[in-house]
Chain A
């Protein structure tokens, strides 16, 4: 993971809280878990991840609990009987972590404006200058495949979450059919959205095996090397980190 990243700029954050939002299936959980792992291995601060996806009970970051544990990442989600409950459970710990977790806290939020509504119940706990809210864009997803779609998504999420965006992440892929072209089309669209909104292009996430095809000079932003950690039951991981 580290060797492939050598030539690319790595994501870095000055804020204590990183809120990851986006459309359904944009890859928020995959990005969140990978980002948590990256920060846990590269920074001295502790890292926590709160799974706030209460709208869709499948493929959530809580499914990667084994990896999170392995890297000493604090995971905040309802345990035991409630892990798979189809209930909108927000643990009290989420609020206290927002107010004062000493380390980096990643909030992995549910999809669309419906999923980010949960944030509005927590808005008041957010110290205003201590968070980043990042939109994950997969330019291949139906409702975020052009500039207007992305802007509409952002507007709706800001309205329901009562938080403001600070930046964007491009996570454009076609799962195992992803090629360099996909990565660049997402890079292009996200750059366009950044230009239009004046927000920061936080990073682009790319599967590790694709990085070798990409010249670091072609990409002007930080890159998060991604391992697929939330796998389907018939898939075996590219490394030993099966969940």
Chain B
């Protein structure tokens, strides 16, 4: 299936009952697929008049305790930031997917990873975080999409899955888990959903706390959840990480797959490089990355992104100056070729033999 369709189907299989959207390239197929599929399962499909409306529809629908989600791309996600902050403040579960395109501003329509800060560091106001997942294959997009709904329920917090345009557009074979394995939440059994107050006391969903002590309490309550996420939800994958590695690449999403191609090719040339791929971008696998990075055999850690160095800050935060960190990236819709990444790796491993071009210097930044 195409990534966008697979994401849509995964949401259906996870029991999503409400989908709100406003079309934007490169994720419009999610909506297109769900116009056909949502009515089949008796769910709600609603196109808003803008992403601002969509964000608020999501806020309202999430209050009922039903599984609800939206998908959009970078500028659309920017417009939803107010609602995301409100949902976090009101402890609501919702799933958002950002199929990232080049920015800032209206930017372009080709793949990018330049919304890392927005997703991971909080694009809206206030002391809140999103749990952020980043798939690198269509199958993983399916698995993480289904997981997103469970995690949103578990923490009563918005969860965001971010993928670049390629995740949305590429075709790969996928397998869906059997129907019976899927856990669904039951809003009727919750003690917070506003789903009709007949025979019980009314409940209020809100993010307004005029008493500063209450507001502070709410923020610490949120913080407790984020601390729990750090303990329980860290996910990452190692690829060809071993004691022979000279260099450790850190990369996520489809960018990591380009790095895998590079690692395979270098391996056949007798050069050992490993890959650390964070799957949760928040909580970031800090301890796990540090453990791999500080190993004696690793001379350099290379962060590769489709942005002008955003995840790099979390890599630095994890490694705390204990290893030399370098960066390579392209952005604006340009996807680095395996050859570009490979020559950056070779330049770092055999610095004297490789001639540096001025272009390479510009795109690769020496961090330490």
**Number of B interface residues in the complex (CB < 8 A):** 31
Is B351 at the interface (CB under 8 A from chain A)?
no
Query: Would you list which residues of chain A between 149 and 175 have a CB under 8 Å from chain B?
Result: 174-175
Contact A236 B261 (CB under 8 A): yes
**Number of A interface residues in the complex (CB < 8 A):** 22
Q: A24-B29, A84-B110, A142-B1 are in contact. Are A233 and B169 (CB under 8 A)?
A: no
Is A82 at the interface (CB under 8 A from chain B)?
no
Name A55's closest neighbour in chain B (CB-CB).
B28
Name A25's closest neighbour in chain B (CB-CB).
B2
Is A232 at the interface (CB under 8 A from chain B)?
yes
Is B225 at the interface (CB under 8 A from chain A)?
no
Instruction: Kindly provide the distance from the CB of A173 to the nearest chain B CB, expressed in whole angstroms.
Output: 9
Contact A174 B173 (CB under 8 A): yes
Is A6 at the interface (CB under 8 A from chain B)?
no
Chain A residues with Cβ below 8 Å from B25 are 56-57, 86
The residue that B170 contacts in the complex, of A142, A174, A232, with Cβ under 8 A, is A232
Instruction: Tell me the complex Cα distance, A133–B335, Å.
Output: 35
Contact B171 A233 (CB under 8 A): no
Is B177 at the interface (CB under 8 A from chain A)?
no
Is B333 at the interface (CB under 8 A from chain A)?
yes
Which of B147-155, B195-203, B252-260 interfaces with chain A?
A: B252-260
Name A59's closest neighbour in chain B (CB-CB).
B169
Q: How many residue pairs between the two chains, A and B, have CB atoms under 8 Å in the bound complex?
A: 65
Query: Would you list which residues of chain B between 159 and 211 have a CB under 8 Å from chain A?
Result: 165-166, 168-173
Is B337 at the interface (CB under 8 A from chain A)?
yes
Instruction: Kindly provide the distance from the CB of A89 to the nearest chain B CB, expressed in whole angstroms.
Output: 14
Instruction: Tell me the complex Cα distance, A141–B171, Å.
Output: 10
The residue that B172 contacts in the complex, of A24, A142, A143, A175, with Cβ under 8 A, is A175
Instruction: Kindly provide the distance from the CB of B107 to the nearest chain A CB, expressed in whole angstroms.
Output: 11
Contact A234 B338 (CB under 8 A): yes
Instruction: Tell me the complex Cα distance, A59–B3, Å.
Output: 13
Contact B166 A232 (CB under 8 A): yes
Is B65 at the interface (CB under 8 A from chain A)?
no
Chain B residues with Cβ below 8 Å from A80 are none
Interface string of B23-45 (1 = CB under 8 A from A): 00110010011001000000000
Interface string of A170-204 (1 = CB under 8 A from B): 00001111000000000000000000000000000
Instruction: Tell me the complex Cα distance, A175–B170, Å.
Output: 11
Most chain A CB within 10 A, of B110, B173, B333, is at B173
The residue that B169 contacts in the complex, of A58, A234, A235, with Cβ under 8 A, is A58
Contact A142 B254 (CB under 8 A): no
Instruction: Tell me the complex Cα distance, A189–B166, Å.
Output: 30
Chain A residues with Cβ below 8 Å from B254 are 232-234
Contact A234 B261 (CB under 8 A): yes
Contact B170 A59 (CB under 8 A): yes
Instruction: Kindly provide the distance from the CB of A179 to the nearest chain B CB, expressed in whole angstroms.
Output: 11
Chain B residues with Cβ below 8 Å from A112 are 32
Instruction: Kindly provide the distance from the CB of B62 to the nearest chain A CB, expressed in whole angstroms.
Output: 28
Query: Would you list which residues of chain A between 34 and 84 have a CB under 8 Å from chain B?
Result: 56-59, 84
Chain B residues with Cβ below 8 Å from A24 are 2, 5, 29, 32
Instruction: Kindly provide the distance from the CB of B207 to the nearest chain A CB, expressed in whole angstroms.
Output: 35
The residue that B109 contacts in the complex, of A57, A177, A233, with Cβ under 8 A, is A57
Is B108 at the interface (CB under 8 A from chain A)?
yes
Interface string of B124-140 (1 = CB under 8 A from A): 00000000000000000
List 4 A-B pairs, minimum CB-CB distance, nearest first: A58-B169, A234-B257, A174-B173, A234-B258
